[in-house]
Structure 1
Amino acid sequence: MGVVLSRVNNSCSAAFGEPVNTYQTVGICDREVNSSDSDHSSIIRIQNKVCEQGETLVPAFPETAFVERGYITPQQVYNLLNAEEGQPALYDPDYILILDCRSAERYKESHVVTARASVTVLHQDLGCLISCIALQKYSIILLYAEEGSSPVGSVKAKADSPDLQRCFFQLSRLGMDPVILLGGFSAFQALYPFLCTPRMVLLEAERHTLTIYPSEILEGALYQGSVSHASDYRIIKNLHITHVVNATSNCPDAFPNTLSYLRLCLSDNAQQDLLEALPLASRFINKALKAEPAGRVLVHCSLGRSRSSALTLAFLMEHQHWSLLHALRWLKERRACTAPNVNFLQQLLTYEEQLFGSRLTTLEDIRR
């Protein structure tokens, strides 16, 4: 397996705080090797650094911010809207019911994509305008006001967003289990303006015109997705991506003159060796996120399920100090289609042992 060298463009070098016109390792590929003497010296220096064994890591537990019961964060909503199981979940009109509990004027100005004005479902005087059977078909019912994070049912919550509180308890009495967007529309729009629109998008045919974004693994920092995500410049621009890990075997880097790439020619099969790829990807991601200013990284393979998941898990293990089990649980909560193949899981178990000095996870743990 050879290491590909590529000249880094000026903007990418500046993002890393490195001199312009220097060479950087950007990938692993059997078919492409730069054979100049100076490049070989770079390969030896970088490979030695990658293979150095330091002290073992101390395991840590993932920490999440406390969220009041009945609420869901903007990041969780972002990942729900962009979930992919088979086809993108957002294409399914029965997947999520989003009710905008603000005024009709504010709804018309802009709202979360696919949201409906709450009065079209839960009228203040007439009650529920659709049957309970129709409500029960939704996997998720999401409510939001303009702002708000007070505990559901509290005096402050009732004063801040009376229409939302009315909808919440009306749905609860009907046997539903609605959730409320923490911080309301204003918090979501501040983070994800590209998922807000003045258009009403309800029908399945209309939903299929929507852009599906990669999953957000670390908020405002690390994303995981498919080659179609990595090839859509609108997605790259909206998420402010600066660095990309390309784990496909035959898909070229989409924007080499604009972004900094780590190219890893990997196959999703039982023979693929990740020995070099895991530490290279982990350190490339960490360097990008620690840069001044901090970068944003997209890790992708063909479908964003197996190869990209293995590389993301390696980063979470090495630089978040999480066991493979904790890293995998974290990743699956944010990207439900995560599915590294068994060969990759076995190599990740070995990588976990190298990082922490002992096995913290078993395949049986993962399969439970």
Structure 2
Amino acid sequence: MGVVTSRVGRCLTEPARELRHHSAPYRESNGTANCPALPCAQPQSQGPWEVLTPAVPERPQVERGYVTAQQVYNLLNAEAGEPALHNPNYILILDCRSAERYHGHTDCQTHCHTYKQCHLVTARASLTVLHPELGCLITQGQLQEYSIILLYAEEGHSPVGSEAARLDSPTLQRCFFQLSSLGMDPVILLGGLSAFRRLYPFLCTPRMVLLEPERRALTIYPSEILEGALYQGSAAQAQDYRIIKNLHITHVVNATADSPDAFPSVLRYLRLRLSDDTQQDVGEALPLAARFIAGALQGGGGRVLVHCSLGRGRSSALTLAFLMEHRRWPLCHAYRWLQERRGCAAPNAGFLRQLAVYEERLFGQRLTTLEDIRL
């Protein structure tokens, strides 16, 4: 159990240094209204592009046995096969706080931001699964059916098993080692519920959501590719205003051939009418999307949703183009980063070939072997 990452290809990188390059000029693409050029962090030029120096993504250092709030958000909303939240056997979430905190009784209201955010959606009180004295209340076989077992307290940053952790969250530590003794591999939410609730209050609830019909009524959110900035999802999610509002989306890249821009009066759109076909030419779409996203995120005020029909192929190609150009990540690194956050991301072979050409255009050489990143 645990967070599984995908295999990716080999690539060459050089030490990062100060970068300057020229972006392709922005052109109107939705065919419905004039859209002025967005601000861009890099100088514009009509001449040839300068070669970028590749960089390696900086990953947060997380203690073994912990997962971040963003990882949990993406795990809950994962859409490989079926949405994870809809699958009762995918993730078991155990709330290791007091019963009063879990249920949101009166004394909980002084600790929760609001009464309606008293536990993480689908979480169960740990006492309903693991009794601190009598042991496991469900069979070891049932526990083994879960791909992930997640534990959380109100807060929590100390290494598992440390004296500080035992003092901060004794129930959580007891559950962790009890599960470990049964052969499980539980993980702990870094920062506890307070860290998750601060970022994703809409995925916290006072209700018990355990049965499959209740789970299937839950909203599935787009994957978070860059925390608080860049999201990737489906056309249905882009048309759900509750999702748009909860994620504070300001800009949308619509890569579908026929899904309309749902909220043109309140959001800024880039419309790229693409088909999910290996013969689809995305040579012009890649830099257009990359520049649109970069302009929206400049200054930290915007949030962008990139979508196609299912959020797998066309949207992945556009997201990868942005990560390559504006994060200076070679295709292999960008692809791994994306798949770690959206496991169902799967640009088709034609898109991958064109992304490899784009990589060579950006960095002056091929850095990724496509055969090594194809699943």
Query: Equivalences for 1:8-27 in 2 at 5 Å?
Result: 25-27=27-29
For the 8 Å contact 1:152–1:165, the answer to whether it is kept is: yes
AA aligned opposite 1:255? F
Are 1:54 and 2:49 counterparts?
yes
Structure 1 distance, partners of 2:80, 2:119, is: 25
Q: Percent identity?
A: 72
Which structure shows the bigger proportion of residues in strand conformation?
1
AA aligned opposite 2:328? H
AA aligned opposite 2:91? I
Are 1:81 and 2:76 counterparts?
yes
Indicate the residue corresponding to 2:286 in structure 1.
278
Match of 1:253 among 257, 261, 269: 261
Are 1:69 and 2:57 counterparts?
no
Deviations 1:73-98 (A, max 9, x none): 00000000000012212101000000
1:26 Cα deviation from its structure 2 partner: 4.8
Indicate the residue corresponding to 1:315 in structure 2.
322
Tell me, which stretches of 5 or more residues in structure 2 are unaligned? 1-25, 38-43, 105-117
State the aligned residue count.
331
Which structure shows the bigger proportion of residues in helix conformation?
1
Are 1:224 and 2:232 counterparts?
yes
Structure 2 distance, partners of 1:364, 1:128, is: 46
Query: Equivalences for 1:153-164 in 2 at 5 Å?
Result: 153-164=161-172
1:271 Cα deviation from its structure 2 partner: 1.8
For the 8 Å contact 1:247–1:264, the answer to whether it is kept is: yes
Structure 2 distance, partners of 1:136, 1:90, is: 18
Indicate the residue corresponding to 1:21 in structure 2.
none
The secondary structure found in structure 1 opposite 2:373 is: helix
The secondary structure found in structure 2 opposite 1:298 is: strand
TM-score (norm 2): 0.85
Structure 2 distance, partners of 1:52, 1:218, is: 31
Match of 1:107 among 102, 106, 110: 102
1:149 Cα deviation from its structure 2 partner: 0.8
Indicate the residue corresponding to 1:16 in structure 2.
none
Structure 2 distance, partners of 1:261, 1:51, is: 25
AA aligned opposite 2:371? E
1:51 Cα deviation from its structure 2 partner: 7.0
Deviations 1:183-203 (A, max 9, x none): 000000000000000000001
Are 1:332 and 2:330 counterparts?
no
AA aligned opposite 1:193? P
Are 1:358 and 2:365 counterparts?
yes
1:275 Cα deviation from its structure 2 partner: 1.3
Structure 2 distance, partners of 1:56, 1:25, is: 22
1:367 Cα deviation from its structure 2 partner: 2.8
Query: Equivalences for 1:127-146 in 2 at 5 Å?
Result: 127-146=135-154
The secondary structure found in structure 2 opposite 1:288 is: helix
Cα 1:192/1:26, change in 2 over 3 Å: farther
Indicate the residue corresponding to 1:343 in structure 2.
350
Are 1:301 and 2:308 counterparts?
yes
Structure 2 distance, partners of 1:52, 1:165, is: 60
TM-score (norm 1): 0.87
The secondary structure found in structure 2 opposite 1:27 is: coil
Indicate the residue corresponding to 2:16 in structure 1.
none
Structure 1 distance, partners of 2:101, 2:69, is: 19
1:365 Cα deviation from its structure 2 partner: 2.1
Cα 1:277/1:130, change in 2 over 3 Å: same
1:52 Cα deviation from its structure 2 partner: 4.7
Are 1:147 and 2:149 counterparts?
no
Give the superposed CA RMSD: 1.8
Cα 1:52/1:280, change in 2 over 3 Å: farther
Cα 1:102/1:208, change in 2 over 3 Å: same
